[in-house]
Structure 1
């Protein structure tokens, strides 16, 4: 059961004030009435109750309510009144109940100076408390903004994916292929994952791999023997079962490979390699590319998926990832190295 921070703070206050109020009874001699110097222990405890009043009245009412540009002057007056009342109460207490106390300059400092000290401490405490709360609110706002942005980025993935997949199914329908039915079943599995399993922050790596395999299978149903697809997945058992990953993080690289690695080529070829152990994931996707003269036919939206995933990587993984993209000897290759939780 998680203990609220407010209960922890209240417990801390109770411990501190108990130590202050009963301080004389811990360190002084009972034969002297638990006196600290010339000040009786009982007076020290009663005065501590006055200090407690100064602390909480100023820290939780006067300072937060009146310390601002409009009412700062009122705060100053109330502070003077608060400290002044405490000094008067101590004087009345001293003369009424502890008249036998020998008042000396040292005793005066022990009796009256703490009112000023506690007042200053209450201001420092209030400012620290306000700073902590302000930072917590800023952190919550940043987290909410991050969650909103990630939700928006995920929502961008769905129509982009559906646009490509429905194009694939239209192609099968035109051919009146018997592969259309299994393709629709695979699509329903993919949609179930997208709609229900990606609502949380992260998903088990095994689910993301299953989604990846279904997508590759769907594409292979469309292209058949017209494209050579090689997919290798080598993960340690503990990583596959225990590691978590941002959902739909790997698929844009594969989408990009199928989209641009299957046109203007006589023998399209895509190689997908996923390895991982001890929390380190390496995902490499390579596809043959057409000569540069043919690349002018790419549509303007070709970079949506990769731009999206780069932004998500920056937001969620910071320095825990490395993304390398390049092309060489007629191959376009993307390599993602990622540290998983």
Structure 2
């Protein structure tokens, strides 16, 4: 998202470039001032540069009068009729002033079409240029505002999705510790330490837009270790994260719902339950897969909270990684999740 400071800086640069352009435009006749004619005198005597500077300065004033006063104050607030009437008056006044300045610079010939059009055309050109500039500038400004609003909306929605994932995840972990306290009290202390590590990540690091991939991997490993501590030898867990120690960054807590879902639905009423997790990064592409056995004989009861994590992570993927590829399928007694995304 574009910061207010960057917007101020871009506005400052735009004003600076405009100032440089108009200063050069006004002073141009002085910079290219011709040499005085040598005898015998030329038939055509170039106009005095100071009059050309005055004409250019008048053009600058008309430009900003149209962009800063006529369009925003009259067209946008009073309507087209009032604006066109004001423009007609200002154009006529500007043409009259231009004719007055030009008659001081060169001999006036009101029957010469080139003399008359040479006065009227620059005024109309400046009017067309200023109107076009104002329309394009306002369009660009509206697009920036719409983009800022969209970024704020996405940021708020992402925060909401994270807030939904965190309590749901914490609820399952606390259930795991309760089970340990009943059946393996000696494991409560190491489990609590693991939970502290998970909470530290959730509270202090998941607020970042992106985190190093190694931190996300460490977070997944802490969760898996906690589940292994709770389940013991009841389930076989394979966790392979080879090649994921680079400097790539990822949205925090993006992968945990897939792992959590595997432990939630892949260990109950299943013969020899097995969960296999694989994560690798090749250049800037992440490959992540989670597989768990499912029962083909017993339909597992589901409550209204089932699948909250997966729904949220799908929504986050659509917003943050629109070109991701997610494949979820169940076949041959396995529930398989395959995720591919390009890390930014």
**How high is the TM-score relative to the length of structure 1?**
0.91
CA distance, structure 2, for counterparts of residue 219 and residue 179 of structure 1: 11
CA distance, structure 2, for counterparts of residue 43 and residue 200 of structure 1: 60
Equivalent position of 1:7 in the other structure: 12
Q: 2:51 aligns with which of 43, 49, 66?
A: 43
Correspondence 1:151 to 2:163: no
Equivalent position of 1:329 in the other structure: 332
Equivalent position of 1:131 in the other structure: 139
| Contact preservation (8 Å) 2:30, 2:50 | no
CA distance, structure 1, for counterparts of residue 222 and residue 320 of structure 2: 25
The Cα of 1:89 is off from its aligned counterpart by 2.0
The Cα of 1:39 is off from its aligned counterpart by 4.4
CA RMSD in angstroms comes to 2.3
| Contact preservation (8 Å) 1:190, 1:211 | yes
| Contact preservation (8 Å) 2:180, 2:188 | yes
Q: 2:204 aligns with which of 186, 196, 208?
A: 196
Q: Which runs of 5+ in 1 are unaligned?
A: none
Equivalent position of 1:301 in the other structure: 305
Equivalent position of 2:223 in the other structure: 215
Equivalent position of 1:229 in the other structure: 237
The Cα of 1:241 is off from its aligned counterpart by 3.7
Secondary structure of the structure 2 residue equivalent to 1:4: helix
Counterparts in 2 of 1:94 and 1:281: CA distance versus 1, 3 Å: closer
The Cα of 1:124 is off from its aligned counterpart by 0.8
Equivalent position of 2:272 in the other structure: 267
CA distance, structure 2, for counterparts of residue 159 and residue 327 of structure 1: 27
The Cα of 1:149 is off from its aligned counterpart by 0.7
Correspondence 1:16 to 2:21: yes
Return 107-116 or 220-229, whichever deviates more. 107-116
Q: 2:185 aligns with which of 163, 177, 182?
A: 177
CA distance, structure 2, for counterparts of residue 63 and residue 108 of structure 1: 27
Residue deviations 1:12-33, cap 9 Å, x none?
Answer: 2123223322333455633269
Secondary structure of the structure 2 residue equivalent to 1:283: strand
| Contact preservation (8 Å) 1:37, 1:107 | no
CA distance, structure 1, for counterparts of residue 329 and residue 223 of structure 2: 24
Return 159-168 or 84-93, whichever deviates more. 84-93
Secondary structure of the structure 2 residue equivalent to 1:60: helix
CA distance, structure 2, for counterparts of residue 186 and residue 99 of structure 1: 89
| Contact preservation (8 Å) 1:38, 1:107 | no
CA distance, structure 1, for counterparts of residue 299 and residue 266 of structure 2: 11
CA distance, structure 2, for counterparts of residue 39 and residue 80 of structure 1: 29
Secondary structure of the structure 1 residue equivalent to 2:240: strand
Residue deviations 1:120-176, cap 9 Å, x none?
Answer: 211111000000000000111111111011111000111110111111011111225
Correspondence 1:248 to 2:256: no
CA distance, structure 2, for counterparts of residue 199 and residue 157 of structure 1: 13
Residue deviations 1:161-220, cap 9 Å, x none?
Answer: 011111101111122521101111111110111011011211111110110000001111
CA distance, structure 1, for counterparts of residue 79 and residue 201 of structure 2: 57
| Contact preservation (8 Å) 1:261, 1:268 | yes
The Cα of 1:111 is off from its aligned counterpart by 2.6
Counterparts in 2 of 1:174 and 1:87: CA distance versus 1, 3 Å: same
**How high is the TM-score relative to the length of structure 2?**
0.90
Corresponding residue pairs, total: 333
CA distance, structure 2, for counterparts of residue 43 and residue 106 of structure 1: 18
Counterparts in 2 of 1:176 and 1:71: CA distance versus 1, 3 Å: same
